Chain A
């Protein structure tokens, strides 16, 4: 009886071994298509429905998946490998399957006013060179941008034209003209964007909206009130109208020579608040206490060795066992304890 069971056991063990060492090579009619970059394997083999039914669906699917995964892993092993911190890593190639778009493609934006005009007139875009020869600097410079050629704001000498006022600052005039051109360009650019996104921009003042919030209404009221010839000075207020909140300067600073004592008071309060808020640096405290403990232990150990070997004097780190003040020193701000000095440090 024992012999039978031993044989059975051996047979079972052999079978398990065989299953574990299932062959790495897998037989397939058609080769699989691999996209190793995406870790993808496409199996185009026909599935015999007889196999599917007779063996049990779960088992069949599991063995199919196992075979295909084995083939994919074989492919991965064919790639060049490198060792990265004791881990063997294979370098995946480029992905070959093209994934579809996540979002819909962008819509073309409407043409700007200039583009419409150019189309109308048949004006083609002429390709211009990036660099232009600058006669005064005798070198090639950009057509526009930083350090451009022929920059009239950068001239050091401007002749006053006969017709202009002799006290006028020509340099300032050129700078102002440039700023105005820049502002106009920016304005037109923003108008183009608003037209493209179909945002209504107001000519002057506020935009009409379907539902207006309370402060928008208040703002509208104040704008309407000041839109008179005398800027709202002779307009009667409504019965419960409050003066507008943020009219005038957007940022308000304290006066230069205000009340010194109140300023001092505010600063002291601020300091007090800051003082209460700072947390005790627990982590560093813990680290320092730990280090202090270690130092103390080392010193104790050395002293013991020193006592055992009286001939050879130990180094003896400062000797003191140190008061067992387990790290009560406050982190950072208190600074005080001058105990346990190493020679030369305070």
Chain B
């Protein structure tokens, strides 16, 4: 386990800012305790310093996971955000998409969101903006990338994709083994 280097922190923050914008500083600087990011076997974990100090007692090969896994760095040093970060993205999300109850199931199985399944979308969403997907009852379901800006969404036909799926809570069951 080690802290992130400058470049790694930068890549990760860039990715996170696509979804939560400047609210990252609320993650970094929390009033209720010191929380930090640490890298372990290419995965980034977010934990309080208490947990960190406890985790130092484990050897590297025995330690599987600490705190919450936000995502991992791929072999080419790109950062990939995992569904386990949803709890921290959802309250600070800048751009949200609400999905109709009919299309919820489809999204949870890993499909993209079509215009016919789109309930609401925040105004001023740019194309390819990171969005957090909610159900109509304001339950966070996952996150994705807006395929069309809000303006375009109004005009396209109902069968076109409006949100590209990136992660959903169904993954907790589907990819149990790879999620640490």
Chain A residues engaging chain B, CB cutoff 8 angstroms: 253-258, 260, 263-264, 267-268, 270-271, 274-275, 281, 284, 287-288, 291-292, 295, 329, 331-342, 344-346
Please determine whether A270 and B21 come into contact, CB atoms closer than 8 angstroms: no
Give Cα distance in the complex from A253 to B7, angstroms. Answer: 12
Contact A256/B3 with A274-B13, A274-B14 known, Cβ cut-off 8 Å:
yes
**Residues of chain B with a CB closer than 8 A to A271's CB:** 13, 22, 24-25, 28
Please name 18 further chain A to chain B contacts, defined as beta carbons within 8 Å, in addition to the given A258-B3, A329-B124, sorted by A numbering: A256-B3, A257-B53, A260-B34, A263-B3, A267-B9, A268-B25, A270-B6, A271-B25, A271-B28, A274-B13, A288-B124, A288-B151, A332-B126, A333-B22, A339-B123, A345-B120, A346-B98, A346-B123
Contact of B120 among A331, A336, A344 (CB under 8 A): A344
Pick from A257, A260, A268, A284: contact of B127, CB under 8 Å: A284
Q: Which residues of B contact A287 (CB under 8 A)?
A: 149
Q: How far is the CB of A189 from chain B (nearest CB, A)?
A: 26
Contact partner of B3 among A253, A332, A340, A341, CB < 8 A? A253
A341 to B154, CA, bound (A): 10
Is there an interface contact between A341 and B9, defined as CB atoms closer than 8 Å? no
Q: Which residues of B contact A337 (CB under 8 A)?
A: 123-124
Judge whether A267 and B56 touch: CB under 8 Å. Answer: no
With known contacts A256-B56, A267-B28, A271-B25, A341–B123 Cβ distance under 8 A:
yes
What residues of chain B lie closer than 8 Å to A263, measured between beta carbons?
Answer: 3, 36
CB contacts (< 8 Å) of A268 on chain B: these are 25, 28-29
- A256, A291, A334: which contacts B124 (Cβ < 8 A)? A334
**How many interface contacts (CB-CB < 8 Å) are there between A and B?**
98
Contact indicator B2/A256 (Cβ below 8 Å)? yes
Least CB separation from B129: chain A residue:
A332
Are B149's CB and A288's CB within 8 A? yes
Whether B95 sits at the interface, judged by CB under 8 Å, is: yes
Q: Does B87 contact A (CB under 8 A)?
A: no
Q: Which residues of chain B have a CB within 8 Å of any CB of chain A?
A: 1-3, 5-6, 9-10, 13-14, 17, 21-22, 24-25, 28-29, 34, 36, 38, 49, 52-53, 56, 94-95, 98, 119-127, 129, 149-154
B42 to nearest A CB, angstroms? 14
Complex Cα spacing A335 to B14, Å = 17
CB < 8 Å: which of A291, A331, A344 contacts B126? Answer: A331
| Alpha-carbon gap, A334 to B121, bound state (A) | 15
- Report B-chain residues with C-beta under 8 Å of the C-beta of A329: 124
Pick 26 A–B contacts, CB within 8 A, sort by A.
A253-B3, A254-B2, A260-B49, A263-B36, A264-B28, A264-B29, A268-B29, A270-B6, A270-B10, A270-B13, A271-B22, A271-B24, A271-B28, A274-B10, A274-B13, A274-B17, A331-B126, A333-B94, A335-B94, A340-B123, A344-B120, A345-B123, A345-B150, A345-B154, A346-B98, A346-B120
